Structure 1
Amino acid sequence: MRYLLRKILFYIVAFCAAITINFALPRLLPGNPVDVMLAKLAQRGQVAPETREAIEAMLGTTDDASLLSQFGDYLVNIFRGDLGVSVTFFPTPVVTVIGQALPWTILLVGIATVISFVIAQLLGMLAGWKRGGWLDSLIPTSTVLQAVPYFWLALILSYVFAVTLGFFPISGGYDYRTVSAGWSWEFLASAVKYGTLPALTIVISSLGAGLVGMRNMMVSTMAEDYVVTAEAKGLRPRRIMTMYAGRNAILPSVAGFGIALGAVVGGSILTEQVFSYPGIGQTLLQSVQNNDYALMQGVFLIITTSVLLTNFFVDVVYGLIDPRTRHQG
């Protein structure tokens, strides 16, 4: 119980720090979202002088309000579920904009990350178990994957499989010309087809580090006394590999899964840009281009909260897998 309370307190402090940074960063950027909105309205005709005051009040960026006052209003609105109105998609609320983009990114990043993690751990366990085998000899080449940027790999896959071979679409989230969005088999099949290349990019890019790490831990664990004892008892090799060596070798990978997720999310944002995928990354780019404070804050809040919740869940699971961590400190 003390372990759980300590973790909850730590992540509450981290969440408060994330909210503060989230509020400050967009306001350090050059430009003014009110000017962006006025420029859009001016394209439709003349803008009355009082319009600026109304837009400032709506966006919470009035000159009379201090940063501290704006921060207080921001905190109140967060807990009310009101993230403001998007300048980019005016007059659509930020919650609605994020709600339309978030499912795409959750499915893309979530599925790709889990697939990459499982493949890396299984291959790393096999490579460490059979040291010197053909799979183990391929491990050094996997380190190349760690050095390849997400966007570069995305461009290569797009050119080979979309442009040259024509196996997959080059951009988009689904075939909007022939399929209507909704929970139908046609839409799901189209979404899977369009999401294959972005998902493959994330899987390949995040595979190298996990594979090498699991292999090295497996080799180290094989020399432990409990593994040698299990072999001396005549237990089946598969049981020793999975229940004794693999179960303990995977602990550092589980602990680092939450941290690695942050890098995966950052890489997926770039991947979405290459494939014009309608996720959070695309929305974030549009918000930065338009100095859309409210939308930027909303996207950052979702990303940081997701990473913090994932890390908290991983810490709890790690405490269940390895009881020793619950008695530290």
Structure 2
Amino acid sequence: MRYLFRKIGFYLVALWAAVTVNFIIPRLMPGDPVDILLAKLGQRGPVTPETRKSIEALLGAGTDQPLWSQYTEYLHNLVTGNLGVSVTFFPAPVTTIIEQTLPWTIGLIGLATLISFVVGVGLGTLAGWKRGSWLDSLIPVTTMFQSVPYFWLALILLFALGSIWPVFPLNGGYDVYTVTPGWNAAFLRSVIYYGTLPALTIILSSVGGWMLGMRNMMVSTLSEDYLVTAEAKGLRPGRIRLRYAARNAILPSISGFAISLGFVVAGSIVTEAVFSYPGIGSALLQAVSGNDYALMQGIFLVITLSVLGANLLVDLLYSVIDPRTRTRG
């Protein structure tokens, strides 16, 4: 129990530090969100101080207030879920944009990352257990896809399977012309169809790393004395492979999976840019190009929460898989 409280306390401090940095950075960036919104709306010439103050309140800027007062208001807005109004998608609130785009990113990038981890770890376990087999010789091929720049691999697959052989669509998240969004079979089939090629790109570019890492850890673990003892006791090979070898060899992979899972939101930018996928990465690109500080700040906050949350969950899972971590310190 003390281990659990210590971990939660550490992540609460990290969350406060990340929220504070997220508050400070946009205020150090050049430009005024009020002027950006006025230019976007086609306003020419000066506006009255009352109008400017009203727009500042609408955007949640409040630059005329002391910094500590802005910080207090910022924390209050976070608690109440008020992240301001997006300039790029004006007058939509930032929370609405995030609610509309985040499920697309989690569904595509998150699921593809999970599949690549499970497949890579499973194949790496078998390759390490049966060294010299055909599966072991397949690892250089899978790592070759990982060495290719991701956007280049995405463009090659898009050109081959979307243009030369039109198996998959070139862009988008679903068929906007014939399908109505909602929890219906036609929409879900369209989402899976449009998301297959981006997901395939992610899996091909990342499965080799998981496979190679797990294979090397299995080879190292198989030389441990407790495995030799287990074999001498006559335990079944399947039990030795899963209960003794794989359980200990997978620990470094779990730590890496926490990092990759936490950066699902951040890593979606290139994927969604190449395939024009309607996720949070595309929204971040539009926010950066339009100097939409409120939306950038909201998305950065989501990235921070996803990284901290994923690492916390994996830390707790780590303590279950490896009980030795609970007894340290």
TM over 0.5: yes
Q: Bigger shift: 259-268 or 279-288?
A: 259-268
Shift of 1:221: 0.8
Give CA deviations for 1:64-123 in whole Å, capped at 9, x if unaligned: 223332222111100111111111111111111111111111111221111011001101
- Mapping of residues 197-276 of structure 1, within 5 Å: 197-276=197-276
Tell which deviates more after alignment, 257-266 or 269-278.
257-266
Deviation string, structure 1 residues 194-252 (Cα, Å, up to 9, x no partner): 11111112222222221111001100111112211222222222222112211111111
> Which residue matches 1:91?
91
Equivalent-residue separation in structure 2 for 1:72 and 1:301 (angstroms): 17
CA distance in 2, matches of 1:204, 1:265: 19
Deviates most, 33-42 or 72-81: 33-42
Match of 1:285 in 2: 285
Q: Normalising by structure 1, report the TM-score.
A: 0.94
CA distance in 1, matches of 2:201, 2:266: 13
Classify the secondary structure of the residue corresponding to 1:271: helix
CA distance in 1 between partners of 2:34 and 2:244 (Å): 61
Gap change, CA 1:209 and 1:28, over 3 Å in 2: farther
Give the secondary structure class of the aligned counterpart of 2:267: helix
Structure 2 unaligned runs (5+)?
none
Partner of 1:26: 26
The 2-side partners of 1:35 and 1:223 are apart by: 66
Could you tell me which residue of structure 1 aligns to residue 142 of structure 2?
Answer: 142
Q: Which moved more, 1:51-60 or 1:83-92?
A: 51-60
What amino acid is aligned across from residue 111 of structure 2 in structure 1? I
1:32-85 residue CA offsets vs partner (Å, 9 max, x unmatched): 221221012226x88853433321232233442233322221111001111111
Change in 2 beyond 3 A, CA 1:264/1:134: farther
Where 2:169 maps in the other structure, the secondary structure is: coil
- What is the identity percentage for the equivalent residue pairs of Structure 1 and Structure 2? 63
CA separation in 2, counterparts of 1:126 and 1:292? 49
2:85, 2:181 → 1: CA distance? 24
101-110 or 64-73: bigger deviation: 64-73
Q: Give the conservation status (yes or no) of the 8 Å contact 2:127–2:215.
A: yes
Alignment TM-score, normalising by the size of structure 2: 0.94
Question: How far apart in 1 are the matches of 2:188 and 2:313?
Answer: 29
One-letter code of the match for 1:247? R
Distance 1:258 1:293 in 2: 28
Separation (CA, whole Å) in 2 of partners of 1:174 and 1:274: 15
Gaps of 5+ in 1: none
- Find the counterpart in structure 1 of residue 176 from structure 2: 176
Over the aligned positions, Cα root-mean-square deviation in angstroms equals 1.8
Query: Superposition pairs for residues 284-303 of structure 1, below 5 Å?
Result: 284-303=284-303
Q: Evaluate the alpha carbon distance shift between residue 216 and residue 264 of structure 1 in structure 2; reply closer, same or farther with a 3 A threshold.
A: farther
